[in-house]
Structure 1
Amino acid sequence: MLLHVPAVLDATELSRCRDLLAAADWADGRITAGTQSAREKRNLQLPESAPQLSELRTIVESALARHGLFFSAALPARIYPPLFNRYEGGMDFGDHIDNAMRQLPQGGWLRTDLSATLFLCEPDDYDGGELRIDDRFAEHWVKLPAGDLVLYPATTVHRVEPVTRGVRLASFFWIQSLVRDVGERALLFDMDLALSRLRGELGERQELVELTGVYHNLLRRWGGPH
Structure 2
Amino acid sequence: MITPIGSLLGSTQLAQMRTLLDRADWVDGRSSAGAQALEVKRNRQLPADSPLAQQLGDLILAALSRHPTFISAALPLRIMPPLFNRYEAGETYGLHVDNALRFIQPTGPGQGAAIPVRTDLSATLFLTDPEDYDGGELEIESSFGAQSIKLAAGDLILYPASSQHRVTPVTRGSRSCAVFWLQSMVRDSSQREMLFDLDQSVQSLGSELGQAHDDVMRLSGLYHNLIRQWAET
Same fold by TM-score greater than 0.5 = yes
Q: Which runs of 5+ in 1 are unaligned?
A: none
Q: Distance in 1 between the 2:138 and 2:172 partners?
A: 16
Alignment deviations for residues 126-154 of structure 1 (CA, whole Å, 9 cap, x no partner)? 01000000013211000000000000000
What are the residue-to-residue correspondences of 1:130-209 with 2, within 5 Å? 130-204=137-211, 205-209=213-217
- Could you say which residue in structure 1 is the equivalent of 2:232? 224
Q: Distance in 2 between the 1:155 and 1:48 partners?
A: 23
- Could you say which residue in structure 1 is the equivalent of 2:132? 125
Q: Distance in 2 between the 1:216 and 1:24 partners?
A: 44
Q: Distance in 1 between the 2:231 and 2:11 partners?
A: 35
Give the conservation status (yes or no) of the 8 Å contact 2:124–2:178. Answer: yes
- SS for the counterpart of 2:55 is helix
Q: Distance in 2 between the 1:188 and 1:49 partners?
A: 35
Give the conservation status (yes or no) of the 8 Å contact 2:121–2:183. Answer: yes
Q: Distance in 1 between the 2:49 and 2:75 partners?
A: 30
One-letter amino acid of the structure 2 residue matched with residue 40 of structure 1? V
One-letter amino acid of the structure 2 residue matched with residue 72 of structure 1? S
Q: Distance in 2 between the 1:119 and 1:19 partners?
A: 15
Kindly report structure 1 stretches of 4+ aligned residues shifted beyond 4 Å.
none
Give the conservation status (yes or no) of the 8 Å contact 1:24–1:50. Answer: no
- Could you say which residue in structure 1 is the equivalent of 2:219? 211
Give the conservation status (yes or no) of the 8 Å contact 1:8–1:148. Answer: yes
Q: Distance in 1 between the 2:229 and 2:153 partners?
A: 37
Q: Distance in 2 between the 1:180 and 1:59 partners?
A: 26
One-letter amino acid of the structure 2 residue matched with residue 64 of structure 1? L
- Could you say which residue in structure 1 is the equivalent of 2:111? none
Q: Distance in 2 between the 1:207 and 1:88 partners?
A: 52
Give the conservation status (yes or no) of the 8 Å contact 1:114–1:153. Answer: yes
Q: Distance in 1 between the 2:207 and 2:144 partners?
A: 34
So what's the TM-score if we normalise by structure 2?
A: 0.94
Give the conservation status (yes or no) of the 8 Å contact 1:78–1:175. Answer: yes
1:23 aligns with 2:23: yes
Aligned residue-pair number: 225
Q: Which runs of 5+ in 2 are unaligned?
A: 107-113
The one of 101, 104, 114 equivalent to 2:121 is 114
- SS for the counterpart of 2:176 is strand
Alignment deviations for residues 23-63 of structure 1 (CA, whole Å, 9 cap, x no partner)? 21111111221110111100001002423112201111111
Give the conservation status (yes or no) of the 8 Å contact 2:78–2:182. Answer: yes
